[in-house]
Amino acid sequence: MSTVKTHQPILTTSIAAAAALAHKHRFVGFDGAFCGAGDRALGTLEVETDAGQQAPVNVLGIVLVEAGAPIGAGEQVESDADGRAVELDDGVANGVTLDAASAAGDIIRLVRGI
């Protein structure tokens, strides 16, 4: 049985996609590409977007993000090399998890802006 996750974005903006953004719910940087490891995120991608098109990015609120590894609930996260959320190590904090992820690829809720 699959669990549906809801999100409540407060602020969504758009940015020109620097390349094809083929994985929704990953961190997107201020350059319009998926974040690299430890990078500061503008927000999380709402829908897959072709290169050069305007990509909707959820900047603030409760947003969905793809986990890059198991993560506990209530943890600060940073981006991995593919724009997925991993527990904060030495990068920039990009939010706090509301849900736990048991494996890479899980979609979890993230609070941004607190």
- pLDDT tens per residue, range 8-66: 999 999 999 999 999 999 999 999 999 999 999 999 999 999 999 999 999 999 999 99
Domain extent at residue 82: 8-112
Residue 69: CATH number of its domain: 2.40.300
Asked if pLDDT for residue 1 goes beyond 60, the answer is no
Phi, psi of 37 (to 5 degrees): -60, 125
Residue 99 lies in a domain: yes
Tokens of 2: 């699959």
Q: pLDDT digits over 9-20, tens only?
A: 999 999 999 999
In a domain, 72, yes or no: yes
Bridge-based pairing state of the strands 8-16 and 54-66: antiparallel
Q: Does a structural domain hold residue 1?
A: no
CA–CA gap between residue 103 and residue 85 (Å, rounded): 11
Q: What is the pLDDT of residues 71-113, one digit of tens each?
A: 999 999 999 999 999 999 999 999 999 999 999 999 999 999 9
pTM for this prediction: 0.95
Task: Give me the DSSP letters along 17-63.
Answer: -SS-B--TTSEE-TTSSB--TTPPPSEEESS-B-TTSEEEEEEEEEE
Number of domains within the chain: 1
